[in-house]
Structure 1
Amino acid sequence: MLGRLAEEHATGVLTRERGVLYLVEGQVVHAESPATPGLDVLLTSRGALGSEGWWEAVSQAGPEHRVGRFLVDSGQLAAGALELCHLGALYDAAFFTLGTSSGPARFRYGVAHWIGPVRPVSVDAVERETLRRRALLHRIWPDADSDTAELVRTGRAVDAVLPPRQRTVLDQVDGVRTAADISLVLGRPGFHTLVDVRRLAAAGIVTTRARTVEVRAPETAVPAASPVSTALVSTASAQAARAAQASAEPDVALLRRLRDALEAL
C-alpha cells in the first residue's frame, strides 16, 4: 500500500496498528507511534525547547499546519536542529508503524498533520531504514519478545563496565515496564531503547516476565507412598544413581562447553 501511495503522489494519513504515517505528494512528512516519544517530548526533554514555547507554537500555528515553521520563525529553534530532531522522530515512529501488525492498514486522503512541512522523506528511504533497523536488532539478539513484553532482571551480576546508556535503561527495569514505557520515562527514541534492551537480553541480564513464569516448575501435591512403591522408587533411584555416576564425566564436560558457548554470546 505504501508503495502504491508513493506512486500516486497521494496526500493523507496511513494508519496501522502501531502508528501512523503522514504523506504529502507521495512523500513521508511525519510519523507517530505510541511505542516511542513524539517530537514534542524529544525537543523538550533534551532542553532544546521549553514546554511553554512548544504549546505556544501549537496554539498559534497548529490550525494552519505550520507549527514547525513557527518555531523557526519565532527564533525558538534553529532550522537545522528542528530538521535533525524531526527526522529522528520520523524514522523512529515509522519503524514501529511498519512493523508486524495483525490489524488492517487504512489510508485517509487529504489529512494533514499540524506540524506542517519540515523535511519530506521518500517512501524508499523510510523502508530502507526500517529494514536496516530490523536487521541490526536481529544481529544483536534474535528474540523479539523483549521489544514489547514486561521486562525483569535475571539476577545475573552486572559487569562494572556496562555502558552508561544500558545502565540507564537497566535502572528502569522493574518487572512492569516495557521498552516503550522506558522510552517514555527517559524521553529517549524508542529504537535506541530496543537496542539497549536487546543487548542486555543477549548478556543474560534482562529477560521477559512471561519467560520467568514459564521456567518455574509447577507445584503439585505429592501422594503418600506405599511401602511397595517406596521400595520400587528406592531401587530405581539406586540404579539411576549408578548410571549417573558412570556417565558423570561426559555430562560435566558437555555442560561446561554449553556454559562457555553461552557466555561467549
Structure 2
Amino acid sequence: MLLRLADERATGALLRDHGTLYLVDGLVVHAESPSAPGIDVLLTAGGRLARSGWEEAVDQAGARREVGRYLVDSGRIGGGELEICHLGALFDAAFFALAPGSGPTRFRYGVAHWMGTVRPVAAAAVERETLRRRELLDQVWPYAAVDTAPVVARGPAPGQLVTRRQRALLELADGVRTPAAIAWTLGRPAFHTLLDVRRLAAAGLVDTPDEPVTTSPGTVPSWVATLSADPDIALLRRLRDALEASL
C-alpha cells in the first residue's frame, strides 16, 4: 500500500497499529511510533536542544506545520543537524510502523504533520531500509523475545570487555525496563537499542528475567518436555542453569 500511494503521489497519513507515516506527493516526510522516541526526545535528551526551546518551536510554528523550519531559522539548531536527526527518527519509527502483524492499514488523505517537511524520503527507500534492519537483527541474534520483554544484565565473563555505550545500556537492564523503555531513557533510537540488546544477548551479557526454578538434585524440571523445534532462548538458559545446579 505504501508503494501504491507513492505511485499515486498521495498526500496524507498512513496509519497502522504500531505507527504512522506521513506522505507529501508520495514521499515520506515524517514517521512516528509509540515504540520509538520521537525527534523531540532525540534532540533534548542529550542536551543538544533545551526542552523549553522545543516547546517554544511547537507553540510558535506547530499550527503552521513549520516546526522544523522554525528551529533552524531561530538558530536553535543547524539545518544539517536537524536533517540527520529527523532522518534517524523517521527511519526508526518507520521500522516499527511497517512491522509485520502491525494490524490493519488505513490512509487518511490530506493529513499533514506539524513538524513540516525537513528531508523527504522515497517510499521505496523506507521499505528497503526497514527490511535491511529486520534482517540485521536476525543475523545478530535470531530470538525476538529480547525485543519486547524486560531485560536483565548478566555479569561479563572474565576478560570480557564492555564498551561505554554498552555499559550505559546494561545499567538500565534491571529486569523491569524493556529495550523500548531503555531507548526513551537514554534518548537513543529504538532500533539501535534493539540492535545493541541483541548483540549483548549474543555475548551473554543480557537476558530476559528467569522465573524461579526449583529442582531436586540430579533431576531435570518437568518443563523441559515442553521444548519445541523452535525453543525460546530464555527457556534454554533456564535449562542450562538447572542442569548446572544439579551437577
Query: 1:108 and 2:108 equivalent?
Result: yes
Matched with 2:144 is 144
Contact between 2:36 and 2:189, CA under 8 Å: does it hold in 1? yes
The percentage of aligned residue pairs carrying the same residue is 61
Distance 2:194 2:44 in 1: 22
89 and 101 in structure 1: CA distance in 2 versus 1, 3 angstrom threshold: same
Counterparts of residues 112-191 of structure 1 (less than 5 Å): 112-154=112-154, 157=157, 159-191=159-191
Q: CA offset at residue 78 of structure 1?
A: 0.9
216 and 23 in structure 1: CA distance in 2 versus 1, 3 angstrom threshold: same
1:186-213 CA distances to partner (integer Å, 9 max, x unpaired)?
111111111110011111221223xx23
Query: 1:216 and 2:176 equivalent?
Result: no
Contact between 1:43 and 1:85, CA under 8 Å: does it hold in 2? yes
Q: CA offset at residue 151 of structure 1?
A: 1.1
Distance 2:188 2:158 in 1: 23
Report the 3-state secondary structure (helix = DSSP H, G, I; strand = E; otherwise coil) of the residue aligned with 2:80.
helix
Matched with 1:7 is 7
1:62-96 CA distances to partner (integer Å, 9 max, x unpaired)?
00100111111111111111111101110111111
Bigger-Rg structure (1/2): 1
Contact between 1:19 and 1:34, CA under 8 Å: does it hold in 2? yes
Counterparts of residues 34-45 of structure 1 (less than 5 Å): 34-45=34-45
Distance 1:37 1:25 in 2: 26
Structure with greater proportional helix content = 1
Matched with 2:198 is 198
Distance 1:159 1:22 in 2: 48
57 and 160 in structure 1: CA distance in 2 versus 1, 3 angstrom threshold: same
Contact between 1:158 and 1:205, CA under 8 Å: does it hold in 2? no
Q: CA offset at residue 216 of structure 1?
A: 2.9
Distance 2:214 2:200 in 1: 25
Contact between 2:18 and 2:102, CA under 8 Å: does it hold in 1? no
Runs of 5+ consecutive residues of structure 1 not aligned to the other structure: 220-236, 238-258, 260-265
Contact between 2:16 and 2:102, CA under 8 Å: does it hold in 1? no
Runs of 5+ consecutive residues of structure 2 not aligned to the other structure: 219-239, 241-247
TM-score of the two chains, using structure 1 as the length reference: 0.77
Counterparts of residues 240-259 of structure 1 (less than 5 Å): none
Distance 2:11 2:215 in 1: 55
Aligned residue type for 1:93: A
Counterparts of residues 41-60 of structure 1 (less than 5 Å): 41-60=41-60
TM-score of the two chains, using structure 2 as the length reference: 0.83
**May I ask how many residue pairs the two structures share in their alignment?**
218
Distance 1:158 1:32 in 2: 41
